[in-house]
Amino acid sequence: MSETGRPEEHPGHDDYGQRKRRALAMGGEAKLAARRATGVLNARERIDALLDPGTFLESGLFAASTSNPQDRENTPGDGKIAGYGRIEGREVALVVNDFTVKGASSTAVNGRKIGQMKRVATERGLPLVLLGESSGARMPDTMGAAGMGAMLGHDPAQYQRTRETPWASGVLGQCYGSSTWYACIADCNVIRKGAVMAVSSPRLCSLAVGETVDHEELGGWELHTEVTGLADLATDSDEEALEAIRAFLSYLPAHHNEAPPVRPVAPGASAAAERLGDLVPERRTRVYDIRPVLGALADPGSLFELKARFGRPAVTALGRMEGRTVGFIANNPMVKGGALDADACDKITSFLVLCDSFNIPLVLLVDTPGFVIGTEAERKRAPGKIINFMNALSLVSVPKLSIILRKTYGQAYLNMGGGRNSDEVAAWPTAEISFMDPDFAVQVVHGGAEGGFGNTDDPAYQAARERMGRDAQVWDIAAAYGVQHVIRPEETRPWLLRMLEVHRLRLTGGVGQHRLANWPTSY
């Protein structure tokens, strides 16, 4: 401090101001202007859009590459901006790639920044946000045996995922290498249209395997939302992607040792659920979209669907019931009649892992003719997928409540929470429960058209079919206490609210056992 006591007169303070300005300038005005022209936010604008205003506290503002003297001056933040901020008043840790600094490539210094954010998030119980846009490892730092030895593998937990706190990822530009890995081990991955997530760049693909391919085809939003399921949702802009990350985190606790946050709920939240029955056709062969049913059942506007374009015979969505987070798993008869295929099984398994790891009660809405069968299903490893899903469901320790709307058969009955695979099962009076569809059952048991009956007009066939149909009605399973409740559609929301209260994890303060916490990060 100077003799006058004014800190700014110390030469160190001038230096501070200058160095800070340089760090905040990122990769320079030319690169920033080029980005702006394409309508894409830069790293610091993304931080502002993500966080509550004025809450960002940077960690490592003065970090820079130390691998060689010339990089020291032109690598502000070393290309990855880290720090803490608040989302809806709650602390989070974040790492945001700054592509304008050497393509946000990975180095020893910025690796330390990522390590610090992950460590603090995990040990102190903060959600972690990772915004990816990186070209991969920095060259030449990582080249050669010396580079590999110096740079890689010194943190054996670098890609370890044990789900102590929720991680949300945004793929907001080109992501190759570590930014792709982090996107894939996050609990929710949002991709902005036009961004790309792939193992390696199109250029390297062309060099290494001679494949000419463009970004979109290699790792664009359509691929990852429809074919791979590695992205949970796609947005049109950076701003929407960041809003989606905020929304996702609003359903989740800050860490695995607390219950999810509770939101106030507006009066009249139950009004739409009183007309639930109107949304489901009574005729057993008619299809319908289950999503309006979920929308009417949950608190108004609270549904947040994950992987909507992938494994579509199933719907997985976070939502709220009287302000409390629940995870909805539903068959969607609109797609494949609600018959679960291999992708739908994978999607549900991944959702079970999310909900179980973060103490989110599950609500299953059941209306399925079974699993998709046939050669295509077998080639897609349906048996493995079905039992993986079943195993996950049986390991879940959060409350599980299931409601059978119309039909449920065979193994799908168990996978969708039938019997003791839910804590409580309710069925609508229209529910139909059996080992298989009565039309098939009558043919399997009685030999079908070539067997005992001449054709399906045969009165004996008709009688057998009618018997099978009657045997599948809800009353026999209710008599056997195989379902605990038979409820009318309009009673569904009040029943669910009450059951969520009955089955609240009181003994552990709303916290489950997390037996899926180290299950795979994709399927």
Partner 1 sequence: MARTIVKSEITGTVWKIEVAPGADVSSGDTLIIIESMKMEIPVLANGGGKVLEILVEEQQPVTEGQELVHLES
Q: Write out the residues near partner 1 by the rule CB under 8 A.
A: 284-287, 333-339, 369-370, 372, 374, 376, 437, 439-440
Q: Which helix (H) or strand (E) holds 86?
A: strand 80-87
From the CB of 300, what's the least distance to partner 1, in Å? 24
From the CB of 416, what's the least distance to partner 1, in Å? 15
Cβ proximity to partner 1, 2 vs 285, nearer residue = 285
Cβ proximity to partner 1, 136 vs 370, nearer residue = 370
Secondary structure (H, E, C), 142-185: CCHHHHHHHHCCCCCCCCCCCCCCCEEEEEEEEEECHHHHHHHH
Cβ(367)–Cβ(335) under 8 Å?
no
User: Nearest-5° angle of CA 286, CA 288, CA 293?
Assistant: 135
From the CB of 403, what's the least distance to partner 1, in Å? 20
From the CB of 313, what's the least distance to partner 1, in Å? 9
Chain centroid to CA 317: 9
Residues linked to residue 364 through DSSP beta bridges, in sequence order: 329, 402
Provide long-range contacts, Cβ within 8 A and 24+ apart, for 24-27: 24/61, 24/76, 25/76, 26/76, 26/77, 26/98, 26/100, 26/101, 27/76, 27/98, 27/99, 27/100, 27/101, 27/102
From the CB of 336, what's the least distance to partner 1, in Å? 5
**How many whole angstroms separate alpha carbon 105 and alpha carbon 409?**
52
Residues linked to residue 314 through DSSP beta bridges, in sequence order: 331
Q: Describe the crossing of helices 459-471 and 438-446 by its angle, rounded to 10 degrees.
A: 130
Provide long-range contacts, Cβ within 8 A and 24+ apart, for 201-209: 201/135, 201/136, 201/174, 201/176, 204/176
Cβ proximity to partner 1, 286 vs 498, nearer residue = 286
Cβ(472)–Cβ(466) under 8 Å?
no
From the CB of 333, what's the least distance to partner 1, in Å? 7
Cβ proximity to partner 1, 440 vs 495, nearer residue = 440
Cβ proximity to partner 1, 287 vs 486, nearer residue = 287
Q: Provide the 3-class DSSP secondary structure of residue 376.
A: helix
- For 215, the token pair is 């970004």
From the CB of 412, what's the least distance to partner 1, in Å? 10
From the CB of 370, what's the least distance to partner 1, in Å? 6
Cβ proximity to partner 1, 260 vs 338, nearer residue = 338
Cβ proximity to partner 1, 182 vs 371, nearer residue = 371
- DSSP symbols for 457-503: TSHHHHHHHHHHHHHTBHHHHHHTTSSSEE--GGGHHHHHHHHHHHT
Cβ(392)–Cβ(516) under 8 Å?
yes
Cβ proximity to partner 1, 121 vs 335, nearer residue = 335
From the CB of 406, what's the least distance to partner 1, in Å? 11
From the CB of 429, what's the least distance to partner 1, in Å? 20
Cβ proximity to partner 1, 337 vs 418, nearer residue = 337
Look at the block and give the residue holding tokens 């695979």: 421
Cβ proximity to partner 1, 10 vs 286, nearer residue = 286
Cβ proximity to partner 1, 435 vs 440, nearer residue = 440
Cβ proximity to partner 1, 173 vs 313, nearer residue = 313
From the CB of 414, what's the least distance to partner 1, in Å? 18
Cβ(398)–Cβ(356) under 8 Å?
yes
From the CB of 283, what's the least distance to partner 1, in Å? 9
Work out the number of other CB atoms within 10 angstroms of the CB of residue 17. Answer: 10
- For 453, the token pair is 């009956």
Provide long-range contacts, Cβ within 8 A and 24+ apart, for 383-388: 385/342, 385/345, 385/346, 385/349, 385/523, 386/340, 386/345, 386/411, 386/415, 388/345, 388/346, 388/349, 388/523
